[in-house]
């Protein structure tokens, strides 16, 4: 096997196996790496609360942070902003009812809005709650918790222009005031204040919790992180739901097992495919990041703990925590990072291993989409830009491949002359390359260059919100989903529905884009030097059609990129190879009469 085809076969096989194993067959081929975590039945007992702050001569106290029992019936305050709608419960002051106005569950504009947060008692409860932990001289009943009945002071509607103020008083002279505001995007600001009119110093520690009951419905794409996401003093971290067992709170105890102290920056919360709920403490002040799992109730918690505050008689203290609850919009999250100083907030979007490529590629795609106004056309334009950037390297590769194609008749002659003597054939091949000044490995560069670009763009299209429900033309109304057309109903011409998108039947009865992809791959392959080995020839002959079926389940935006990339590559390579005397024959190897075989060099004959 000559070096040119060894390298080409290796690169192609590598990319094929990675795609096959991880993105299509991962759960089948490697089930031990992709365990299914069952949704545990939710118990009825209350969850264990966070541990109390250390306080002199004071035993640890507990405050109820989460429970599977619905909160007591209480009035609700409406939440209405340009991007959010829902309500806030006066029971605990919970933010537990929130829908995203700009996002629907399906491409149907009349489908329900995406609901992000839900109260206890409904399917998959998911909410944020804030409170205080009692220190010396105070009992848990002396501080507000998740079930405390707050009173409204003044305005009773939360909008981006009108905050709301809640108040609660205990019997020891402490007045707790909570002010909740929200901007025009997705960021709440919760300011908790304590006024001490009692006779003794009060020691308390404020906290914020995002809790979700039971395992949420996961996308199971195995390329998108879903679970805990956090940043602590410049260190970014992710925890899958399956790994939360490591943070389980033993029954009867309140101490969490995962605590990370922070002094400069950070945040913590839960991220889904396109949405997230994240707590952001005041940056530059000490706090503690906690991930906790309560197995008795099947509750996952992300917590922010602040240091103990000593509030003397006649004084007050307050703490502010932000809560991001919304869509993972790149531009919105970046503005919070740049304008509010939330360091590393853009990393809440899962950029993957090739983040150094994924981030700039998405930034360019975002700009192109804003300029052109169509995401499909933006992907095509992005492909042109990427091809221009790698053109200098690609040009050298195509020239090398053209010269390799010219040598094919002589390579066939060497093969026939050497017979079964593989060493002799290899020596004569190497001498031929040397005499003609051809590098057989240079033709692999286009494949090797585009593999990381392909995976970076795959990540962009798979995880970034901007492609969700983004339309191109005609039937392509969601570039983040596979092509919905199918041979089964003659691409919509027959009066019956096609198979379910992404199903095995849909994979067999291909859509329009995968068929075009297969054709462009076949055309591009015909420009490459044909392998001398019959087995290699068969492998390469089947490769375009295998990829055609395998990639039919991929996002249509990615297929558009790949088709465009193949088409541009074909044109570039055809023009370059033709300029060097090699004219491809799509039903053979090389046009007769274009290049005549030349004799093998004398050096090669002698050897």
- pLDDT tens-place string over residues 91-101: 999 999 999 99
Q: What confidence score (pLDDT) does residue 26 get?
A: 41
Residue ranges for the chain with pLDDT beneath 50: 1-11, 14-65, 589-607
CA distance 131 to 345: 25
- What H or E segment, with its residue span, contains residue 393? helix 391-406
Sequence-distant (6+) residues with CB within 8 A of 396 are: 442, 445
- Give SS3 for 6: helix
Q: How confident is the model at residue 529, as a pLDDT?
A: 63
pLDDT tens-digit map of 270-290: 999 999 999 999 999 999 999
H or E segment and range at residue 195? strand 187-196
Tokens of 158: 């939360």
Instruction: Choose among 298, 289, 215, 213: nearest CA to 256.
Output: 289
Grouping H, G, I as helix, E, B as strand and the rest as coil, residue 604 is helix
Full 3-state SS string of 256-286: CCEEEEECCCEEEEEECCCEEEEEEECCCCC
pLDDT of residue 79: 97
Instruction: Write down the pLDDT at residue 93.
Output: 93
Pairing mode of beta strands 76-80, 157-158: parallel
**Residue 117 in contact with residue 127, Cβ under 8 Å?**
yes
**Top-tier CATH class for 37-350:** mainly beta
pTM: 0.79
- Nearest 10 degrees: Cα torsion 290, 146, 103, 376: 0
Give the closest residue to 358 by CA, choosing from 237, 238, 467, 457: 457
Answer for the pair 70, 119: CB distance below 8 angstroms, yes or no.
Answer: yes
| Ranges of CATH 2.70.98.90 domains, the chain | 37-350
Q: What's the pLDDT at 582?
A: 63
């Amino acid at each position: 096997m000559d070096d040119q085809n060894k390298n080409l076969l290796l690169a192609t096989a590598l990319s094929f196996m990675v795609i096959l194993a991880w993105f299509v067959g991962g759960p089948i081929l490697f089930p031990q790496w992709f365990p299914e975590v069952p949704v545990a039945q939710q118990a009825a007992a209350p969850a264990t609360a966070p541990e109390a702050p250390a306080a002199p001569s004071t035993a640890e106290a507990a405050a109820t942070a989460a429970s599977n029992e619905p909160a007591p019936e209480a009035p609700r305050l409406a939440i209405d902003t340009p991007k959010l709608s829902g309500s806030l419960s006066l029971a605990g002051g919970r933010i537990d009812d929130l829908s995203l106005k700009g996002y629907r569950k399906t491409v149907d504009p009349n489908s329900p809005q995406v609901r992000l947060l839900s109260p206890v008692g409904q399917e998959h409860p998911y909410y944020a709650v804030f409170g205080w932990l009692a220190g010396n001289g105070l009992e848990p009943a002396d501080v507000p918790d998740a079930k405390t009945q707050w009173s409204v002071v003044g305005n009773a509607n939360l909008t981006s222009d009108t905050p709301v103020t809640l108040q609660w008083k205990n019997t020891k002279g402490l007045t707790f005031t909570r002010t909740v505001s929200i901007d025009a995007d997705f960021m709440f600001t919760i300011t908790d204040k304590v006024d001490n009119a009692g006779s003794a110093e009060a020691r308390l520690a404020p906290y914020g919790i995002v809790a979700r009951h039971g395992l949420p419905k996961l996308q199971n794409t195995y390329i998108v992180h879903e679970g805990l996401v956090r940043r602590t003093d410049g260190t970014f971290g992710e925890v899958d739901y399956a790994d939360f067992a490591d943070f389980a709170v033993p029954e009867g105890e309140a101490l969490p097992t995962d605590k990370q102290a922070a002094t400069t920056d950070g945040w913590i919360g839960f991220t889904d495919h396109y949405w997230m709920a994240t707590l952001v403490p005041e940056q530059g002040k000490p706090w503690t990041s906690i991930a906790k799992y309560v197995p008795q109730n099947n509750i996952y918690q992300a917590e922010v703990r602040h240091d103990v505050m000593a509030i003397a008689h006649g004084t007050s203290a307050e703490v502010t925590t932000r809560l991001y609850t919304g869509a993972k919009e790149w531009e919105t999250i970046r503005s919070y990072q740049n304008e509010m100083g939330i360091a590393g907030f853009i990393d809440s979007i899962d950029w993957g291993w090739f983040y150094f490529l994924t981030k700039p590629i998405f930034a360019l795609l975002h700009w192109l989409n804003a300029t052109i106004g169509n995401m499909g056309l933006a992907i095509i334009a992005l492909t042109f830009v990427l091809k221009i950037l790698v053109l200098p390297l690609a040009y050298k590769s195509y020239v090398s491949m053209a010269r390799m194609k010219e040598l094919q008749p002589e390579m066939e002659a060497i093969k026939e002359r050497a017979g079964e003597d593989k060493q002799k054939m290899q020596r004569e091949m190497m001498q031929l390359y040397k005499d003609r000044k051809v590098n057989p490995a240079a033709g692999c560069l286009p494949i090797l260059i585009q593999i990381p670009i392909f995976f970076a763009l795959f990540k962009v299209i798979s995880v970034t919100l901007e492609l969700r429900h983004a339309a191109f033309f005609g039937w392509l109304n969601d570039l983040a989903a596979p092509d919905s057309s199918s041979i089964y109903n003659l691409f919509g011409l027959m009066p019956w529905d096609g198979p379910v998108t992404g199903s095995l039947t849909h994979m067999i009865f291909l859509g329009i884009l995968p068929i075009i992809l297969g054709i462009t791959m076949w055309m591009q392959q015909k420009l490459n030097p044909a392998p001398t080995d019959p087995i290699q020839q068969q492998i390469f002959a089947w490769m375009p059609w295998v990829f055609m079926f395998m990639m039919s389940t991929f996002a249509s935006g990615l297929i558009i990129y790949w088709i465009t990339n193949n088409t541009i590559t074909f044109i570039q390579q055809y023009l370059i190879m033709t300029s060097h005397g090699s004219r491809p024959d799509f039903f053979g190897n090389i046009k007769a009469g274009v290049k005549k075989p030349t004799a093998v060099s004398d050096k090669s004959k002698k050897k």
